[in-house]
Structure 1
Amino acid sequence: MTEVNGRARPEGSDDPADPEVIADSSDSAASQHPGESDARWHYRRSLASRVTLLTTMAVGIAVAVLSLGVYVTARMQLQSQLDNSLVDRAKATAQVLRYGVDVRQPESLARASGVVVYQVFGDGLTRLNDPNLPFSKGSPEFAVANGERKMSIRTVTVNGMEQRVVAVPLTKGSAIVVTQSLADQREVLTRLGGVSLLFGLLGVVGAGIAGWGVARNGLRPVRRLTASVEHIARTEQLDPLPVEGDDEVARLASAFNGMLASLSASRDRQRRLVTDAGHELRTPLTSLRTNVDLLTQADIDQKAIDPEARAELLDDIRAQIDELTTLIGDLTELARDEPLAPVVGEVDLSEILDIALARARRRAVDATFDVETDHWYVVGEAGSLERAITNLLDNAAKWSPAGGTITVRLSAGDGVGVLTVDDEGPGISPEARERVFDRFWRAEESRSMTGSGLGLSIVRQVVERHSGSATATEAPGGGARLMLVFPGRSDA
């Protein structure tokens, strides 16, 4: 024997409920379907870690998109401002040159401002400040000088440095070109990118901490609910859980309390059924044992009992066996706690009533049955309906006096069919009418009579399983009236 998680397990056990077997099967399934296993990896993480991870990812993506948007917007804005400034300078320079004014820049000023002015001719280049020629024939600036374009704006690289170049027409065959280094703009954008990256990382870290705090505090009710459920599973004490607020966790706790109430009621019914069944079985079993002991003594001592007493004992034993058989059958019927199948079949209740009446007449030969029936169709199980109606008729025959009349009516009402059975017995007291359908409940005057006290319980269970109801009232003649109501339809 080996012990796994506190439970004994035989060596070499292949029990599918064994944790090691489950682990092996899980590994095998993972090896057979690696893609599916990889796709479900996050289900092995805790809910708090998933919330933290998802919050961090969401904030990280938002920060990244926002930073990219800020960077692109700033770059476009700086580029637009620089282009507008260079265009204005180029146009102003061209305007001044048209009036013959000398606008040559000192070399020191050109280097300090980073702005250089050129005059471009269609067949060559003459600069106003610097003899270097950063342009070649075929450039957009020559197209502007030749009148082929109204203006050109572009970025060129001179000696490893990026420059923004703007060209506007000056005279026919010439143009003014203004250039400015992009080093300052690139430095600003670099700093902006670094700041965005720094604050983005800080934001992601802060989002992770915030997500962890939110998950920890937000899931605290879930952890309390989990601990309470684990306590119930460990102790089997079906105490209701505390419900606080009206959020989803409170709704879950309320639903779980409803499940606990149903489970507690079911367990109480089972406990009461076992207790009552044990009490009811004790009497026939004791009597049966006594009679068997007497027969055993009679076999040892032939003179201990005469043949007539022996026959009576055998008759008593048969009756007790029949009583036990009936009681066990009733207990088996009551132990069936499953609901009615969605589609069983449509049956005519009047035909089932005829079959039950034939059986009841054979059992109660001295009773008269006054029967009037209408056709009424219900969706249900014919066997259980027949058993319920038979129990109802047997109960009426048991309480009716010899030669009495049992009145049976099956009438079609507005959406429901009503079956009433009236007897001419002593009737049922008002305080006992609510309990006649309880398991093993028997009135004081019926304790000396045969029966298990389960017949009417089976009647109510079958009727409720068919979405109907069972009630007990007083018959017009003074006896008891038991009434069953079934939803269904008439033949009309």
Structure 2
Amino acid sequence: MSSRRSLGARWRRRRPLRTRLALAASAAVALVAVGVCAAAFVIIRYQMTRQLELHLTQTATQLTQRARNWGPTAGDTSCRYQAVPCMQIVPSDPARDPSRPYALPAGDATRQVAGGRHTAYYSELTVAGEPVRMFTTKLPGRPEALQVALRSDTVDRGVRQAAWALSAVGGAGVLLAAALGYWVSRTGLAPVARLTATAERISATRDARHRIELPTGPQAREDEITRLATSFNIMLGELEQSVTAQRRLVADASHELRTPLTALRTNAELLARADRLTDAQRDRAAAALGRQLREVTTLVNDLIELARDEEPHPLVEQVRPAALLEHAVTAAREHWPQITFTLSTDTAAADITVPGVPPRLARLLSNLLDNAAKFSPPEGPVEAELSRVPGAVELTIRDHGPGIAPADLPHVFDRFYRAQAARALPGSGLGLAMARQIARAHNADLTAEAALGGGALFRLRVPAA
């Protein structure tokens, strides 16, 4: 028994969803059709039998009124005619039976009805080879029972005809249910089939550019399947963007790493022949090797930071942007002694706290300050200002350098992007991209714009706690 159940379960798991849905819908409709036909058969049979019994009751009432002075009477017919009832009167005492044999069965139940010890009843029997429905009741005021019988073959034939008709209707209903189940499964699961085909095509080709075709026009339905297909298309779009960004990151990283790795290999090969170099040449090669190692290390660390799209939640705490900015400006002054950094903090923003990871926010501020210092002229000022705005804290960092060209403004935060004016400056082109990623991870908004009077202005808005 358990093996049969396991086989059935495996069969259901292996069947496609369309087949299972078609079978379920067909079984449900077929069950309803069969149930309706069975109920109709029961009702028809009951009503026809009930009509026959009502006829027998009426006939018995009429005979009772006419048989007030009759004595025990044997059946005068053998129920040979369908429309003519046959009757007989049976006394409670068998000694009073007439000499003629009874045409209808007169048993103990009939004697008890005649004696008033049993209620009236209906019974089915066969008389002279014909089916008969008989009603037995007591004659009022007399110790006798009246039996009235009527042939029931007409009713039986009508019941059989109704059974055949309902069986045909039920069979047609089952076939119609199968057709409707197939149509429902095919129509209702068409978007799911397209979704499955698209997913299988993406799995086979590894191309996330495929999309599910959605119905358009005024007759397009907004049902659950359509919303599922729309969500799947949105997910595919996000996946395509993620794959494209990943490929671009890998390509840009390989391009950026190729030059320092080549220089590292050249200097390493040069130091391998140190016996042929002078002391000055060896010192220069060693210094260049160390500098290039630091650049590669910084670049790899930046790539690792960019590969992480979210901040670790256990490290999130309430931090004061004013304290972080003051610390970042102090570190920038030490790193860029030739640049003048000015800090202005609004009194209303001095004690505001925001949720975040302090080292990551400090890295964001240091990247912005380093970028401003890199583009500022010697002894040029870099202005950092912290203020309170409705529902947030706003930080602005402005330099007085060449500014940002309108063509470069949309790409300022792209990875490895360098404007024409920045290609001769040190750096990997990942600082602003990392700053934007850290800002997004903290639900902050980081934008860049051209400052009035020259230079670039970076604006960071962090939601307040």
Pairwise TM-score range, normalised by the shorter structure: 0.7 to 0.9
Q: Determine which of 352, 372, 396 is the counterpart of 2:344.
A: 372
The two structures have a TM-score, normalised by structure 2, of: 0.84
Q: How does 1:264-413 map to 2 (within 5 A)?
A: 264-297=240-273, 299-302=274-277, 305=278, 307-337=279-309, 339-340=310-311, 344-348=315-319, 349-373=321-345, 374-413=350-389
Q: Determine which of 116, 122, 130 is the counterpart of 1:154.
A: 122
Which amino acid in 1 is paired with 2:61? K
> Aligned to 1:111, what secondary structure does the other structure show?
coil
Which amino acid in 1 is paired with 2:105? P
Q: Determine which of 207, 222, 226 is the counterpart of 1:237.
A: 207
Q: How does 1:102-117 map to 2 (within 5 A)?
A: 106-107=76-77, 110-113=79-82, 115-117=85-87
Q: Distance in 2 between matches of 1:419 and 1:396?
A: 14
Identity of matched residues, %: 34
> Aligned to 1:370, what secondary structure does the other structure show?
strand
Q: Distance in 1 between matches of 2:271 and 2:72?
A: 146
Q: How does 1:63-462 map to 2 (within 5 A)?
A: 63-98=33-68, 106-107=76-77, 110-113=79-82, 115-124=85-94, 126=97, 131-132=102-103, 134-137=105-108, 139=110, 142-143=112-113, 145=114, 152-155=120-123, 157=125, 163-167=133-137, 169-216=139-186, 219-241=189-211, 242-245=213-216, 246-247=220-221, 248-297=224-273, 299-302=274-277, 305=278, 307-337=279-309, 339-340=310-311, 344-348=315-319, 349-373=321-345, 374-462=350-438
State the match for 1:12 in structure 2: none
Contact 1:134 1:158 in 2 (8 A): no
Deviations 1:158-205 (A, max 9, x none): 679663314253444444331234444334333433443344234323
State the match for 2:440 in structure 1: 464
The two structures have a TM-score, normalised by structure 1, of: 0.79
Q: Distance in 1 between matches of 2:356 and 2:99?
A: 107
Deviations 1:59-87 (A, max 9, x none): 32112211221121112211221121111
> Aligned to 2:182, what secondary structure does the other structure show?
helix
Q: How does 1:3-14 map to 2 (within 5 A)?
A: none
Shift in alpha-carbon separation, 1:343–1:87, aligned structure 2, 3 A? farther
Q: Distance in 1 between matches of 2:408 and 2:193?
A: 48
> Aligned to 2:207, what secondary structure does the other structure show?
coil
Contact 2:88 2:102 in 1 (8 A): no
- Aligned alpha-carbon RMSD (Å): 3.4
Q: Distance in 1 between matches of 2:143 and 2:90?
A: 8
Between stretches 207-216 and 420-429, larger displacement belongs to 207-216
Alpha-carbon shift at residue 229 of structure 1 (Å): 3.1
State the match for 1:22 in structure 2: none
Shift in alpha-carbon separation, 1:220–1:134, aligned structure 2, 3 A? same
Contact 1:118 1:129 in 2 (8 A): no
Q: Distance in 2 between matches of 1:419 and 1:90?
A: 107
> Aligned to 2:210, what secondary structure does the other structure show?
coil
Alpha-carbon shift at residue 89 of structure 1 (Å): 0.6
Shift in alpha-carbon separation, 1:183–1:322, aligned structure 2, 3 A? same
State the match for 2:15 in structure 1: 45
Contact 1:90 1:176 in 2 (8 A): yes
Shift in alpha-carbon separation, 1:243–1:476, aligned structure 2, 3 A? same
Which amino acid in 2 is paired with 1:135? A
Does residue 62 of the first structure (1) align with residue 32 of the second (2)?
yes
Alpha-carbon shift at residue 456 of structure 1 (Å): 0.5
Between stretches 410-419 and 178-187, larger displacement belongs to 178-187
Deviations 1:231-254 (A, max 9, x none): 332223333333234445544433
> Aligned to 1:270, what secondary structure does the other structure show?
helix
> Aligned to 2:81, what secondary structure does the other structure show?
helix
Shift in alpha-carbon separation, 1:105–1:295, aligned structure 2, 3 A? closer
Deviations 1:103-141 (A, max 9, x none): 997536x322373212244445657985356234454x7
Which amino acid in 1 is paired with 2:199? V
Alpha-carbon shift at residue 460 of structure 1 (Å): 0.4
Shift in alpha-carbon separation, 1:173–1:370, aligned structure 2, 3 A? same
Q: Which runs of 5 or more structure 1 residues have no equivalent in the other structure?
A: 1-30
Alpha-carbon shift at residue 332 of structure 1 (Å): 1.3
Q: Which runs of 5 or more structure 2 residues have no equivalent in the other structure?
A: none
Contact 1:164 1:182 in 2 (8 A): no
